[in-house]
Amino acid sequence: MATDFPLTRTTRPLPAPERARVLESPGFGRHFTDHMATATWTDGHGWHGHRVGPLEPFSLHPSAAVLHYAQEIFEGLKAYRHADGSVWLFRPEANARRFARSARRLALPELPEEDFLAGVEALVRADEPWVPVPRSEESLYVRPFMFASEAFLGVRPAAEVVFSVIAGPAGPYFANGLAGVTLWVSSTYSRAAKGGTGAAKCGGNYASGLAAQLEAREHGCDQVLYLDSAGGGFLEESGTMNLCLVTADGHLVTPPLGTILEGVTRDTILALAPECGLVPQERPVTIDELRAGAADGTVTEVFAAGTAAVVTPIVGFKGDGYAFTVGDGEPGKHTAALRSRVLDIQFGRAKDTHGWLHRVL
Ligand SMILES: *Cc1c(COP(=O)(O)O)cnc(C)c1O
């Protein structure tokens, strides 16, 4: 049985006309709903204080462990409004499972998966008016997270931890996402090493990637493509998205799990590939293979996959002393087909034959 997150409504919600204005053009990560879900864990007592209340700042002691030792994890998923007004989550159980795995890696207490779902659902219900009526692909982005709140300067797992869920309306993640983005192949930085935290969704992975992102910007690229840290030249992923290649002989190729983040979208794409006429294949790919394949036409398309950006075409790469485009530098047809297929299922326009949708309202 899941624990309830009883609702205390805010007395000061954003007035409806202002909310409507935000929903006109939500952007990404800029606007937040009226409520938040929280629960607290203390060593010896476990989880308690589950609630949904007004969105408000946390009060943290300056020695709170998360501020010093980055004991923190998060998730990202979306709520979609269908044409009949109903509201659905997409594979939230997968996020709940991954959240528990990330918690174990960061020595945080595990939140029971049903309580993760209960917290997410309670917040979406409380903030139902914030779920956009999609004009293209607008949705409500939901951000569950957990951090070490204990006031203590010492390196050990914290004895007090907060779980919370916030949400905000989201439009397309990249302004130029459909036209395709370019990736900077960093030879300075790597994202994860064997035995590290690459497979956990933790803030620290992002903090350590910011310098690489700046490097990408300096070279006129939108995002980073990380190679394996051991110097083998193997493609890993982009900072927030998994990488997929389409080959001329009809394969959908993606690097194997291990040091990369196990994306729900990646898994969805692997499952949908056969429906789009592609044979899914998880195998190591080197940057040299990608460069040669893009040059001789054996690699026809590249795209990135993640909840925020769905499926984003990658049209070009730059690295130290080289640059190349994929195909004709335009988004490919399989990329477009897979993108539509995922969105059609998420927005209820195509039959959910895999049982991925989870109704909230
Ligand atoms: C969240 C994330 C992804 C994408 O995962 P989804 O479950 O598809 O949203 C990919 N890479 C990294 C590093 C991530 O943090």
Give the residue, out of 210, 213, 307, 356, with the most ligand 1 atoms within 8 A of its beta carbon, to mutate for a pocket test.
307
Bridge pairing between strands 181-185 and 310-319:
parallel
Question: Which residues approach ligand 1 with their CB closer than 6 A?
Answer: 76, 201, 237, 240-242, 261, 263-266, 305-307
Q: Ligand 1 centre from 203 Cα, in Å?
A: 12
User: How many angstroms separate the alpha carbon of residue 264 from the centre of ligand 1?
Assistant: 7
Please choose from 95, 240, 342 the residue to mutate so as to test ligand 1's pocket, defined by most ligand atoms within 8 A of CB. Answer: 240
Each residue's pLDDT, cut to its tens digit, for the chain (361 residues) gives 899 999 999 999 999 999 999 999 999 999 999 999 999 999 999 999 999 999 999 999 999 999 999 999 999 999 999 999 999 999 999 999 999 999 999 999 999 999 999 999 999 999 999 999 999 899 999 999 999 999 999 999 999 999 999 999 999 877 666 889 999 999 999 999 999 999 999 999 999 999 999 999 999 999 999 999 999 999 999 989 999 999 999 999 999 999 999 999 999 999 999 999 999 999 999 999 999 999 999 999 999 999 998 999 999 999 999 999 999 999 999 999 999 999 999 999 999 999 999 999 9
CA of 237 to the centre of ligand 1 (A): 9
The residue whose CB lies within 8 Å of the most ligand 1 atoms, and thus the one to mutate among 143, 235, 261, is: 261
Three-state SS letters, 267-303? HHHHHHHHHHCCEEEECCCEHHHHHHHHHHCCEEEEE
Q: Ligand 1, residue 205: give the atom nearest the CA.
A: 13
Nearest atom (ligand 1) to Cα of 76: 9
User: Of all protein residues, whose CA lies closest to atom 14 belonging to ligand 1?
Assistant: 240
Which atom of ligand 1 lies nearest, measured to the CA of 77? 9
| Residues with Cβ within 8 Å of residue 72, at least 6 apart in sequence | 66, 106, 145, 146, 147, 148, 202, 203, 204
- Between the alpha carbon of residue 293 and those of residues 149, 239, 249, 287, 327, the distances in Å are 49, 23, 12, 10, 10
Task: Quote the ligand 1 centre to 91 CA distance (angstroms).
Answer: 14
pLDDT digits 0-9 by tens, 290-332:
999 999 999 999 999 999 989 999 999 999 999 999 999 999 9
Nearest-atom number in ligand 1 for the CA of 201 is: 15
- Alpha carbon of 298 to ligand 1 centroid (Å): 27
Please report the DSSP string for 64-122 in residue order: BHHHHH--EEE--EEEEE-TTS-EEEESHHHHHHHHHHHHHHTTPPPPPHHHHHHHHHH
DSSP-derived secondary structure letter, 161: E
Name the phi and psi angles at 52, rounded to 5: -115, 125
Atom 3, ligand 1: residue with shortest CA distance:
241
Domains of the chain: residue spans and CATH: 16-170 (3.30.470.10), 181-346 (3.20.10.10)
Instruction: Give the Cα separation of 211 and 202 in Å (integer).
Output: 17
Q: How far is the CA of 3 from the centre of ligand 1 (A)?
A: 27
Structure confidence at residue 175 (pLDDT)? 67
Q: Which of 91, 241, 303 to mutate to test the pocket of ligand 1 (most atoms within 8 A of CB)?
A: 241
Q: 150 CB contacts (<8 Å, ≥6 apart)?
A: 64, 65, 158, 159, 160, 161
Atom of ligand 1 nearest to the CA of 191: 13
Tell me the pLDDT tens digit for each residue of 20-73.
Answer: 999 999 999 999 999 999 999 999 999 999 999 999 999 999 999 999 999 999
